[in-house]
Amino acid sequence: MSHKVISFHYTVKDTAGKVLDSSNGGDPMAFLSGHQQIIPGLEKELLEMSKGDEKSLTVSAEEAYGPRRDEMIQEVPRAELPEDLTVGQMFSVSTDNSGQPTHLVTVVEFNDETVKLDANHPLAGQELSFDVEVTDVRDATSEEVEHGHAHGVGGHQH
Ligand code: ZN
């Protein structure tokens, strides 16, 4: 399968029409197709589009950040987290042995003994609306395919 690098501007809204994120005013986002770099429902649509195309689309929760899962809520000892904790606070944590932060968790509730952390994506379980504009489509370079990400504006700069 040939890989594409697609650059696009986006505005993403929740079902109530509240803007959650947007690339307007900044660089477009660039991604390498076939590498789960963006949500599947959006990638599928973008792959059908050409440079200059604009589209409004809705992505179901299943094809966005997935359903919310109760087993993603875990309790950890209070001592493992900072003193000044607040409900709703977010932390980056490592879920592998690399020591690199890989996952965002949200504090659901806590007492003196334990803290309940929710590792669901903040947008899990939500249907999302996107306004997208494709600014460029090109074949990925062999280096990008090897690295597993797009290079240049909106991608990895290295
Ligand atoms: Zn690279």
Q: pLDDT digit string (tens) for 47-89? A: 999 999 999 999 999 999 999 999 999 999 999 888 999 999 9
What does the DSSP 8-state code read for residue 141?
A: P
pLDDT of residue 133: 98
CA of 150 to the centre of ligand 1 (A): 7
**Higher-scoring residue by pLDDT: 41, 95:** 41
Give buried/exposed letters for 62-72 (b at 16+ CB in 10 A, else e). Answer: ebbbbeeeeee
Q: For residues 92 and 75, what is the distance between their CA atoms, to the nearest angstrom?
A: 16
Q: For residues 113 and 15, what is the distance between their CA atoms, to the nearest angstrom?
A: 37
Which CATH fold topology does 70-118 show? Answer: Thrombin, subunit H (2.40.10)
User: Cα-flanking dihedrals φ and ψ of residue 92, to 5°?
Assistant: -90, 130
Q: Among candidates 3, 6, 1, 16, which has minimal Cα distance to 137?
A: 6
Mean model confidence pLDDT for the chain: 93
CA of 145 to the centre of ligand 1 (A): 9
Q: Residue 108 to residues 74, 91, 116, 118, 125: CA-CA distances in angstroms?
A: 10, 12, 5, 6, 17
Domains of the chain, residue spans: 4-65+124-147, 70-118
CA of 5 to the centre of ligand 1 (A): 13
Instruction: Report residue 95's pLDDT band, with 50, 70 and 90 as the boundaries.
Output: low
In terms of CATH architecture, what is 4-65+124-147? Roll (3.10)
pLDDT of residue 1: 60
* 4 neighbors 134 (Cβ within 8 angstroms): no
Would you state the torsion angle of the CA atoms of residues 57, 63, 69, 74, taken in this order, to the nearest 10 degrees? -90
Q: Among candidates 80, 20, 30, which has minimal Cα distance to 51?
A: 30
pLDDT of residue 66: 94
Q: Is residue 102 over pLDDT 80?
A: no
CA of 47 to the centre of ligand 1 (A): 21
pLDDT of residue 92: 85
CA of 144 to the centre of ligand 1 (A): 6
CA of 151 to the centre of ligand 1 (A): 6
* 134 neighbors 49 (Cβ within 8 angstroms): yes
What pTM value is reported for the model? 0.79
pLDDT of residue 69: 94
Q: For 18-28, what is the mean pLDDT?
A: 95
Question: In this predicted model, what pLDDT tens digit does every residue of 106-128 receive, in sequence order?
Answer: 999 999 999 999 999 889 999 99
